[in-house]
Amino acid sequence: MVKRLLKVTAAAAAVGFAGVAYLYLSLPDVRPLRTQNPGTTAFMELRAREADKAGKKPRKVQYWVAYERISPSLKRAVIVSEDAAFFSHEGVDFDELEKSFQDSWAKGKRMRGGSTITQQLAKNLYLSPSRNPVRKIEELLIARRLEAELSKRRILELYLNVIEWGDGVWGAEAAARTYFQKPASALAADEAALLAAAIINPRRYSPARPSKYLLRRQDLIRQRMGDVEPPPVVAGNPGGHP
């Protein structure tokens, strides 16, 4: 019985390793993102399919802007809101991930938040909102690959240009123009905090009509924004950390 159990355990481990290896080998090549901006994302295509299914014309408002043309206040606000350990982790915040697993196990619910900015970028670019375990593993693996190939500055630049900020509103420049009639470079601290607060669920919480909950999040983010600095521009460093 012991030998049989050991064989079963070894077989299960082998299958698990083979599955992870297959997932890793089938991951997208992120190296072109060093110098190329993505023309679309998995989330954009998902929203377009949803609109088509509902008999509506897909809406896409996006203006790509360089890292230097995004307000430092917005960079701070997003980091405070979404990933306070952004500068110190390598794609996955294991402390936060452990807390997420513990909460889910204790409460018997789906995993709560805990995704880093890099994980969110991986999900937006290549995956879906689904929280099934296989998709989560893909997200983690892609995040590690993004961190290995891109600088922190580039990861944040990509993230701020592709994330959803409302119905058909993609990226910081589109959000700044839509909600404040100004470019992303001119966003004030309070405006940046409001945009960052809405990232949690941009299709439910609109900066155009902020709810009490959204305003509370804005205030909390605004209070914390002085604690972080956005990464500097580092020339000649296409990959790795700045």
Residue 177's nearest CA partner among 78, 81, 60, 63 is 63
Check pLDDT > 50 for residue 240.
Answer: no
Beta bridge partners of 164: 170
Q: What pLDDT does residue 232 have? A: 56
Query: What share of the chain has pLDDT > 70, as a percent?
Result: 74
Q: For residue 219, what are the contacts with CB-CB under 8 A and spacing of at least 6?
A: 193
Query: What is the C-alpha to C-alpha distance for residues 174 and 21, in angstroms, rounded to an integer?
Result: 39
Check pLDDT > 80 for residue 128.
Answer: yes
Mean pLDDT score, 13-40: 75
Question: pLDDT band at residue 93, thresholds of 50, 70 and 90?
Answer: confident
Among 54-68, 80-94, 96-110, 187-201, the range scoring the smallest mean pLDDT is 96-110
147 with 158: CB under 8 angstroms?
no
Check pLDDT > 90 for residue 60.
Answer: yes
Single-letter amino acid, residue 165: W
Q: What pLDDT does residue 26 have? A: 72
131 with 97: CB under 8 angstroms?
no
Catalogue all structural domains in the chain, each as residue range(s) with its CATH number. 61-227 (1.10.3810.10)
Q: For residue 176, what are the contacts with CB-CB under 8 A and spacing of at least 6?
A: 71, 182, 183, 184, 186, 187, 191, 195
- b vs e for 32-49, b when ≥16 Cβ sit within 10 Å of the residue's Cβ? ebeeeebeebbbbeebbe
117 with 93: CB under 8 angstroms?
no
Residue 115's nearest CA partner among 82, 159, 162 is 82
The pTM of the full predicted model, rounded to 2 decimals, is 0.81
- Beta-strand (E) ranges in 153-218? 169-170
Mean pLDDT score, 84-104: 73
Mean pLDDT score, 37-55: 96
Query: What is the C-alpha to C-alpha distance for residues 167 and 165, in angstroms, rounded to an integer?
Result: 7
Question: pLDDT band at residue 103, thresholds of 50, 70 and 90?
Answer: low
Check pLDDT > 50 for residue 241.
Answer: no
